[in-house]
Structure 1
Amino acid sequence: MRKLKSTRSLVLGSLICCCFFLFQPVLGQNTPMKQGTVERIKVHGKGLEGNLSGDSPDREVSIYLPPSYKTNPKRRYPVVYLLHGFTDNDAQWYGFQTHWINLPNVVNKALASGQLHEMILVTPNAYTRFQGSFYSNSVTTGNWEDYVAKELVANIDKNYRTIPQASSRGIAGHSMGGYGAFRIGQKYPEIFSSVYLLSPCCLSPSENELQNLNNLSRLENIHTPEEVNKADFLTRAAFATGAAWAPNPKKPPFYLDLPTDKGQVQPLIVAKRMANMPIATLDQNITNVKKLTAIGFDAGTQDTNIAASIQVLDQQLNKYGIKHSFEIYEGDHVNRVAERIETKMLGFFSDNLSFEAKKVK
């Protein structure tokens, strides 16, 4: 009987111990995820002054500072310039307005894994009168290419604890922003070392665009900015790219040339548009492209034209033997972009950017 009681005590004690450990919180389970901080400032663009669209040269810029930025005042960080897409703005991406993505939450979640290096992210507000700058130099919309590559970078390096060297700077973007990232990245390897494109638009002309040039004559029936704003997405995009790539300071109220005039295709204007597509200029910029440390790009299977265009980019880079990463995943133009940033893009920059300043000899 005494033996049975002893056995029962042993079993009971074991159960108590098991329950104690089973109901203890898993290490880190209730630990709050470290949060980065977001600042929204204004950065003046000298090259944006006097643009014919009348847009302000004082542009909002949203900045994500990683969790340790406030607690480790001596630490410096690499920077990724992340460019938003057409009809978007920086406020939408950084949680100031409701949108399909909240970038700070995405980055916080990615950093919580402990597998990534911390970095600063910077996104300028490129929303214009035409709902997007296409990050190009134009008298109509202003010199956006110069603004991003030179003025914005200089301002961020001056006012934040960055590692001010090309090997510690990346440029990325979604859709119009992906276009801008490749346009700028292939021209300025002395400023940016790594490039990642998320569903980049407008890299090369699609067969549909070339076949449908005659249909663009409908654009000639639009005469006021209000009519542009009420038009369908493709019409608005045609005016925005026209302002960026075919500006005309003598042609108010839009100050741009359309691909047709009185229903007739204008070969020179079409040539200007094609000349602003990065794959079309890749051969001329190939020396610069070879200087880049890393190039990555992706698109969803349902994003048909864009998926086709990045396959062309893949082929062109392979032709020159340029190393790059490339993936077409199951998805559309936006539904998995947040996931791609979390699981692919941030890791890409964590692997390829330099997190140490070069020593000056």
Structure 2
Amino acid sequence: MRKMPNRQEHTRRGRSTTRGWYLVSVFLSLTACGRRLSLSDLTPVFVPTATATVIASATPVASPTFTPAPPCEEESGVTETHSLATDYLPAPLRFVVHLPPGYACDQSQRYPVLYLFHGLLYDETQWERLGALTIADHLIADGEVAPFLIVLPYDSSSQEPGQYRFAEAIGEALVPYLDSHYCTCTQASCRAVGGVSRGAGWAIHLGLTRPDLFSAIGAHSPAPFWVDWPRYDDWLGALSSASFPRFWLDIGESDPLRPSAQQLEALLNAYGVPHEWHLFQGEHNEEYWHAHMELYLRWYTAVWP
């Protein structure tokens, strides 16, 4: 039986240190907003991995074999913008849906879905600017990954979970809406959630509290919500080894939030959560996320048939 860490110890440490990291993340997001980048501003470069650690499960679990999809005749997907009135938010929830190349070719297929959240003071177009949609199209059109949908919700607030009901709007309204209006696979194994900076905080929050909806969590330069830190022990402790999500965690060597990410990685180790931990060269900015976008997308889609 796995020995669980002392929850009081983790809680005391989380309360005493993470409020400071949250304030750093807010400052960092504000300073990063001075100049928004376009793809023409960004030149993809190879960034060597300073540290890349894959933590294996204590009990190996068989994973589905990934078979690359055949190349699609269409090279570009279709991007749609929508809004959804919910019982949880005062205004309609705005979101983008990106359909993969060839989506209209075979409506009988059920597609996996990747939900991605933007950083503080940005909007749902941030992931488009970072190249996520274009890179996904190329990978799908070349048959290197299976076709999948990308959903980009807009978080209009800077509040914490519990201060407004954004998480409920995603889990109780947006996910069911997507599943009823698109040809999606409705199993948790077909859904992943990810984010950059504050958006990674949402990815962690949703992934750990809604394992019935999401089976993979991608946290890129995470700025976790300080109100969530004391809850991580309970959320992780409630998961069985069979229900652990796939977990990716990365951050730049020069990112001021690096100690916070390392603390989160230590917590995953303490609970025996299988995960990938990457410490790359770089800072807390869009150049960093753009440089690793293809790597992110390949990880999200690796187990999707």
Deviations 1:171-191 (A, max 9, x none): 101111000100111111011
Equivalents in 1 of 2:262, 2:200: separation in Å?
15
Larger radius of gyration: 1
User: Percent of pairs identical after alignment?
Assistant: 24
Deviations 1:243-267 (A, max 9, x none): xxxxxxxxxxxxxxxxxxxxxxxxx
Q: Which residue of 1 aligns with 2:189?
A: 167
Within 5 Å, give how 1:236-255 maps onto structure 2. none
Equivalents in 1 of 2:196, 2:74: separation in Å?
27
Deviation, 1:74, is 1.2
The count of corresponding residues between Structure 1 and Structure 2 is 231
Deviations 1:2-24 (A, max 9, x none): xxxxxxxxxxxxxxxxxxxxxxx
The reply on whether 1:119 has 2:71 as its aligned counterpart is no
Give ranges in structure 2 of 5+ residues lacking alignment: 1-71
Equivalents in 2 of 1:298, 1:64: separation in Å?
25
Residue identity matched to 1:170: A
Q: Point out the more displaced range, 290-299 or 147-156.
A: 290-299
The reply on whether 1:317 has 2:271 as its aligned counterpart is no
Q: Which residue of 1 aligns with 2:135?
A: 106
Q: Which residue of 1 aligns with 2:297?
A: 346
Equivalents in 2 of 1:285, 1:40: separation in Å?
33
Q: Which residue of 2 aligns with 1:180?
A: 202
Equivalents in 2 of 1:81, 1:181: separation in Å?
9
Is residue 189–residue 289 contact of structure 1 (8 Å, CA) maintained in 2?
Answer: no
Q: Which residue of 2 aligns with 1:46?
A: 87
TM-score (norm 2): 0.70
Is residue 109–residue 342 contact of structure 1 (8 Å, CA) maintained in 2?
Answer: no
Q: Secondary structure at the match of 2:84?
A: strand
Q: Secondary structure at the match of 1:147?
A: helix
Equivalents in 2 of 1:319, 1:107: separation in Å?
34
C-alpha change, 1:321 and 1:117, in structure 2 (3 Å) is same
Give ranges in structure 1 of 5+ residues lacking alignment: 1-30, 50-55, 204-273, 356-361
Equivalents in 2 of 1:86, 1:326: separation in Å?
23
Deviation, 1:323, is 0.8
Equivalents in 1 of 2:127, 2:208: separation in Å?
25
Deviations 1:274-297 (A, max 9, x none): 4x134x322111123742331111
Q: Secondary structure at the match of 1:163?
A: coil
Is residue 204–residue 224 contact of structure 2 (8 Å, CA) maintained in 1?
Answer: no
Q: Which residue of 1 aligns with 2:120?
A: 86
Which structure has more RCO (C-alpha within 8 Å, separation ≥ 6)?
2
Is residue 251–residue 278 contact of structure 2 (8 Å, CA) maintained in 1?
Answer: yes
Residue identity matched to 2:205: R
Is residue 188–residue 288 contact of structure 1 (8 Å, CA) maintained in 2?
Answer: no
Within 5 Å, give how 1:156-305 maps onto structure 2. 156-202=178-224, 274=226, 276-278=227-229, 280-286=230-236, 287-288=238-239, 290=241, 291-304=243-256
Deviations 1:138-192 (A, max 9, x none): 2xxx310111122110111011110011111111011110001001111110111
Q: Secondary structure at the match of 2:292?
A: helix
C-alpha change, 1:33 and 1:349, in structure 2 (3 Å) is same
C-alpha change, 1:35 and 1:133, in structure 2 (3 Å) is farther
Q: Point out the more displaced range, 313-322 or 152-161.
A: 313-322
Detail structure 1 runs of 4+ shifted over 6 Å in the superposition: none
Equivalents in 1 of 2:146, 2:87: separation in Å?
33
Is residue 300–residue 333 contact of structure 1 (8 Å, CA) maintained in 2?
Answer: yes
Equivalents in 1 of 2:260, 2:74: separation in Å?
38
Q: Which residue of 1 aligns with 2:96?
A: 62
